[in-house]
Amino acid sequence: MIEFKNLHKRFGKLTVLEGLDLAIKKGGIFAILGPNGSGKTTLIKCLLGMVIPNKGEITYKNESVLRKWSYRNDLNYLPQIANFPPNLTVFELIQMVKNLRQKKSNEQELINLFGLNDSLQKKLGNLSGGTKQKVNIVLTFMFDSELIILDEPTTGLDPIALIHLKELIQKEKTKGKTILITTHIMSVVEELANEIVFLLDGKIYFKGSIDELKKQTDNDNLEHAIANLISKQYA
């Protein structure tokens, strides 16, 4: 479904992605992991067209997406930081996004799920970080798209909202969606991910299941397995 071929990206003298090759099949939950600065967010932004690679190719459904935009209507994206216009209300923001996207939406179901009815007329600038993240989730999941990209989706969520989010992700998986997640919360990875992609210094050092990673590192604990993977590369 998605393929990155020989992807290179530099910011000045800093090399962020270096000859990265990655293929992601259709359907399932894929966790893109790695320490800060490993290239995770840059990789996602290249897929979204927000960052243009210096070299390489990106295809989605066997078609190149570089310097194109129409494919984005077939994906939903949750950014790590929800930078909303502070003077808009939650209701106004949702309506604005609906007008821009022009797709069938199910926002009311999600508003009910995350308990946002009492916040609809509140200014976004007055909301707590956790409530903003719930709005972020509503905007991401209210449209039906084949590809869903979630960058640190659990940030600021209370335990009940986190349960609802994980159930929502699993529900979308059962519909055959392809879901990419970046997160530092290994319990979320262990509960949800079908496959792990581990990045370090702009390169892929592991791609496979959680069980395969544990076997490769000879460790039953996922956090320790990841730490073992990192330490081996810097040894």
Q: In what order do the strands lie in the sheet with 63-64?
A: 14-24, 2-11, 55-60, 63-64
pLDDT at 55 > cutoff 70: yes
pLDDT at 210 > cutoff 70: yes
pLDDT at 59 > cutoff 60: yes
Residue type, 102: Q
The proportion of the chain whose per-residue pLDDT surpasses 70, expressed as a percent, equals 99
pLDDT tens column, 30-52: 999 998 889 999 999 999 999 99
Token output for 182 = 């970046």
pLDDT at 235 > cutoff 70: no
> How far is it, in rounded angstroms, from Cα 74 to Cα 164?
24
> How far is it, in rounded angstroms, from Cα 161 to Cα 156?
10
> What does residue 199 show for φ and ψ, rounded to 5 degrees?
-105, 145
Query: How does residue 234 score in pLDDT terms, banded at 50, 70 and 90?
Result: low
pLDDT at position 189: 95
pLDDT tens column, 124-183: 999 999 999 999 999 999 999 999 999 999 999 999 999 999 999 999 999 999 999 999
Which residues face 64 on adjacent strands?
Answer: 59
Instruction: Find out whether 24 and 178 touch, Cβ atoms under 8 Å.
Output: yes
How many domains is the chain partitioned into structurally?
Answer: 1
pTM: 0.93
pLDDT at 82 > cutoff 90: no
pLDDT at 232 > cutoff 90: no
Domain span including residue 106 = 2-234
Q: What is the CATH number of the domain that holds 39?
A: 3.40.50.300
pLDDT at position 134: 97
pLDDT tens column, 163-176: 999 999 999 999 99
Q: Kindly state the DSSP code that residue 117 receives in the 8-state scheme.
A: G
pLDDT at 231 > cutoff 90: no
Token output for 13 = 């003298």
Helices (H), the chain: 40-48, 90-101, 107-113, 129-141, 159-174, 186-192, 210-217, 222-234
What average pLDDT is seen over the chain?
94
When pLDDT is averaged across residues 212-232 and rounded to a whole number, the result is 90
pLDDT at 230 > cutoff 90: no
pLDDT at 2 > cutoff 70: yes
Nearest to 136 by CA among 178, 107, 179, 109: 107
> How far is it, in rounded angstroms, from Cα 166 to Cα 65?
29
